[in-house]
Amino acid sequence: MVGVGVSAFQRSGLGYILPNYEILSLLETADLPAIRQVCPVTVIPGERPQELNTSSILSLNWVKDWLGRRRPVNLFVYKAATPLDPIIEELGVKLLSSPGYVRKPLEDKKVFRVEACKAGIRIPAGLNLNLEQLTETKWDQLKQKYGERLVFQLTDYSTGGGQGTFFINNRDDWQKFWEFTRSQDRKKELKFVNVCERVAGRSASITGCATRYGVVTSLLQTQIIDQPELVGFKGRNGVWLGHDWTARFSDKAQLNAEKLCQKWGEYIYQKGYKGIFGLDVVLGENDEITVIECNSRYTGAFPVYTMLQLAQGEMPLDVWHLLEWLGLDYELDLDEVQKVSRQAKSGAHIILHSLADKPVKAGGAVKAGVWGIRPINSAKKFKDMGAFAPVIDIGWAREGFSLLDIKADDEFVLCDRIPNPGQIIKPGERIGKLIFKRRIIDDEGNLLPEIKAVVASILTYYNM
């Protein structure tokens, strides 16, 4: 069993589950010594692909030779993009997820609206238009039909994290949207746009695993969205930056989300999709759930959600995914498993990005691992954060890379793609992940002051 990815951390969850699992990583990252305590990791030497994705990695000659010496191979990836389909056939390996031709239409925002209606799940009111049809006159007509506050989704824009989503509240927003679509590198690829009502409510998501016995789901999980302390690219809306599982929803909301996720999962299982998927949702009045989009793949909740389930003594969702794709005989008591799966969990994670508007050189060496937090009785206005936050002292405590390595609320883990000293960091580039075993956001979804201070302190260590 081999997990392949840009970094080892994103494939590390299965290391806790499988005895014969190893990871093939493109990048040499600071957290590898700790990850290697759980499973073997091989870093790809020499050549680097132009694109940092799984298809490009598996196209490297060295990787082909390496996999060829280990056949038969069961291959675990984040998502199977369509270009991966012929590569998998050439390599002669078994892919442990739905191939691109099955999963991609379900993730396409234009197709999803059609399929969601067929499945009978609630989505925002709206329609899909050819981008050229979206004139100012048409915009005025759509505001009369769907309200003044609209959401534009560029359905051809494949980059995730909300980068193709725009909240249109006024003419300035309209102008920024058109400037984005008319840039030289995008105007040829963008053809369609979803125009939808802006559903008021709390941003959340839920993960499902479609199996022959039905759909097992995760907790309804709070999404951390659009936090200025974390967003690398300015002027975008709905940018996903992490989760806080400690911030709970009502029992009614959880059950409503489960039913909806199960309905969708059963629908796509009949279309040939099986295993893990995610739904981005909005929780409205009376705990009503509206689905925004489908992520037909492993989601950004992993591998931290796997670690959360292991900490609770639960069977991770990964296990049901693997059982389906390995074709093994098994039994599943769906009601009993679901009852256990909705247990309360304590944990959160956020992604760090470079906040600079130009390429910068990473300064000091920052160690991956478990760090401790010590408050200091004063406050300071950190650069670019626009608000006072408590001054804290943070310090490296010990090796680790996982939520399972955290022993107390005043500790956190720094891992995944930490830049090396002297490395050139592009604007908005990912520069690490912080994992906590506590709540990190307030009731409005904003980072707590002490968490803002942790982020600022880490960026100071980076000299960024």
Residue ranges of domains in the chain: 2-96, 125-197, 205-220+244-341, 348-462
pLDDT of residue 145: 94
Spell out a b/e string for 74-105, using b for 16 or more CB atoms within 10 Å of the CB, else e.
bbbbbbbbeebbebbeebebebbbbbbebbbb
pLDDT of residue 394: 92
CB 301 within 8 A of CB 316: no
Span 26-35, pLDDT tens digits: 999 999 999 9
CB 356 within 8 A of CB 464: yes
CB 11 within 8 A of CB 76: yes
φ, ψ (nearest 5 deg) of residue 395: -150, 145
Span 118-154, pLDDT tens digits: 999 999 999 999 988 999 899 999 999 999 999 998 8
pLDDT of residue 184: 47
- Confirm whether 125-197 and 205-220+244-341 share one CATH topology: no
Q: Which residues of the chain have pLDDT under 70?
A: 158-163, 183-188, 234-236, 376-390, 464
125-197 has which fold? Dna Ligase; domain 1 (3.30.1490)
Residue with tokens 């080892």: 8
Correct CATH for 2-96 of 3.30.70, 1.10.150, 3.40.50, 2.30.29:
3.40.50
Gyration radius (Cα) of the chain, Å: 22
CB 420 within 8 A of CB 427: no
Task: Pick the closest to residue 77 from 16, 20, 25, 19 (CA basis).
Answer: 25
pLDDT of residue 273: 96
CB 339 within 8 A of CB 254: no
The half-sphere exposure of 308 on its side-chain side, counting CA atoms within 13 A, is 27
* DSSP of 215-283: EEE---EEEEE--TTT-SSTT-SS-EEEEESSS---HHHHHHHHHHHHHHHHHHHHTT--EEEEEEEEE
φ, ψ (nearest 5 deg) of residue 145: -85, -40
Residue with tokens 């060829």: 68
Cα-based torsion angle of the residue sequence 177, 183, 189, 193 in order, rounded to the nearest 10 degrees? 10
pLDDT of residue 22: 97
Correct CATH for 205-220+244-341 of 3.40.50.300, 3.30.499.10, 3.20.20.140, 3.30.470.20:
3.30.470.20
φ, ψ (nearest 5 deg) of residue 374: -130, 110
SS3 state of residue 341: helix
pLDDT of residue 410: 94
Residue with tokens 């478990």: 370
Cα-based torsion angle of the residue sequence 304, 306, 310, 315 in order, rounded to the nearest 10 degrees? 160
Task: Pick the closest to residue 304 from 161, 413, 230, 214 (CA basis).
Answer: 413
